[in-house]
Structure 1
Amino acid sequence: MKKVSFAEFGGPDVLHLIDAEEPHPGPGQIRIAVRAAGVNPVDWRIREGQVLGAHPVRLPAGVGLDAAGVVDEVGEGVEGVAVGDHVFGEGSNTYAEFAVLSAWARMPGNMTYEEAAGYPSVTETALRVIREVGVQPGQTLLVSGASGGVGSAVLQIARDRGITVIGTAGAANQDYLRSLGALATTYGQGWVERVRQLGRVDAALDLAGSGVLPELVELTGDPHKVVSIADLGAPEFGVRFSGVAGSVPEALAEAARLISRGKLHIPVEKTYTLADAPAAHADSQAGHARGRRVIVI
């Protein structure tokens, strides 16, 4: 099969499309013929060699955590899924023609593979950080870097729970944030005062790692009311860094329920081929996303 791999840590140019042996599922796992794989910031952070609390990376290594496709092998002890089922989920080395998943759910309704591949990690992350930051219905959550995949999920899940959301993003994404139910403002000079004018902040999330943690602590009044998924220096400010949690079947089931209820939709901004994985990573690192980037096999 074809898969994307890297033999050294570095920039997008270390990614190469290679021939590799097909993987097979172990107990409690399934294998899918991959139709699409989600591109996540954690993918390029791992490629760079950043320490994110995940398992140590052994080189050469594959890339990718999220995928959607067709089940073609079922591991020992797995029930409720059969060869031929259409699923989306989390696993390893998903930038490939075949991948093993350790958590999955059936694709809702008429969703395309490209759409489905964009949900697993971002929904798990969104549900996790909303829980960790402790924001409650009736309170206000500030989301810094709100227009990407995780931000898109956070805004919609929070609003569905009765939480008011203030989102910061670039000027081009203000209407997008408002379409997801957020009070929107731009980052850049004066952004703290603009946020204050929108309301009191009870908790805050840093999704972009853009050096705003001191301001988020200032706005909430308590570093324990701030969580970052993107700034490895968070502990220096007393802020929790929430890294890679791994595969969580319950999060995928919740994602499927939200999607089926029409409460969660994350658009696909751009698609790539396997050979274009370096470009996908470069675009992801550049930021300014609106929704998700996906590799289509």
Structure 2
Amino acid sequence: MEKNTVETDFYFESAVIEDEKKVTIFGTKNRLRSDNNKPVVLQTTDGGKNWKKTEIDLDFQAASFDRIDDCVYMVGSIDSGDSAISPVYVPNGNFEKWEYVGMAESPKLGLYYLNKGESSEKIALLERNAHQEYFDERLCSSDGRTYAHNDRNWIICGDNKTKEVRILHKLGNEYRVHSRFSYKWHWGIGAVYDLEPSDFYAKDDVMAGILQFQVSALKMIHYLYYSVDGGKTWQNEKMPVFAFERLAVTEDKIVVLGFDKFYKQKRGKATILTIPLPKN
């Protein structure tokens, strides 16, 4: 497992992994609402050996970054009298230039809507939450499920009562169990108080997910699980515990970005882990 780290001096919002070399981190200069709270982009193109920081030339009181799959959108917040307006931007090129596309209205049913000027047309722009869909709670708890970030027809979910992880696949309008595996034999994992996946990827025969095990009030254990035969068999690697995790899969590697936040010091630490992907 290869490892590269970098310390940051801004407040973390989100991140995108394009491949094992190119990783982009998004944040803001200040944690709280303030004038000149510029959005910040930190990017590496060599797997974390070197990083370039860019302050986006837009002044907000606050800003957030959201995404659909690996498409990133920035929603700013500007005080306007007794209320705030929320301009929406999309990247134009290499995340250093951003293009204004419209004004966001209040979220509705988990979605942001974009008001397109004079037009009454409103389109779903950003997904703030998971799809509002019916689930059989016997298959997948509503609290511990995560959609594959590259294909929302796939879901990973855990059950701390049965010590089982399930992979669901959508067929028609219904999700069904595609595969399952047990985690009860891990050393150090006895009573699990909570199990929540932090990210999941599924394409063809390759699947990868990060599982967060809450084993006590103060102790977390994180594992990376992956399969190269469509979920028939699973391998795993114990990971460091991060506050935020994102993964991506290339032709021969699994790339994990982990981020730790230190709000009082206005800094954080990003770590890129690279794990070889075995051949099927």
Q: TM-score, normalised by structure 1?
A: 0.29
Q: Which has the higher contact order (CA 8 A, sep 6+)?
A: 1
Structure whose alpha-carbon radius of gyration is higher: 2
More strand by share: 2
